Amino acid sequence: MQGSTDKKSGNFLERLKSKWKLRSLWQVILVLVVFACTGFTILLVKKPIFDFLGVDTQEGGFFKTLLYLLLVLPLYQVFLLVYGFIFGQFSFFWEKEKQFIRRMGRLFTGKKN
């Protein structure tokens, strides 16, 4: 069974390498580490931000979701670039950031292309 698990994870990394147009599996691993570090950092930072603003993190709601989208999501994008720089993957994340900004722009302008 162990051999089939290794084969599946290898295929997964190869598919990410191809999808993201990366040069090596090592670069795929570094990109995944950047995502993990960014997610963990946001997890640590979100509660203090909400506490500072007086928002109860135990309950959901429209206001909390709106704050998350307006404050935490852009902060996530910044941390992606910071960790991307630290791990030598800034150019990869900068390209993804530009794609994200274009998509957000299209969302608000209603343009297809």
| Longest CA–CA separation in the chain, Å | 51
* pTM score, whole prediction: 0.79
Write down the pLDDT at residue 1: 46
Residues 6+ apart with CB under 8 A from 77: 97, 100
pLDDT mean across residues, the chain: 87
Tens of pLDDT, residues 9-49 = 679 999 999 999 999 999 999 999 999 999 999 999 988 98
Domain borders along the chain are 33-109
Q: In 1-113, which ranges are continuous DSSP H helix? A: 2-19, 25-52, 62-67, 73-86, 90-109
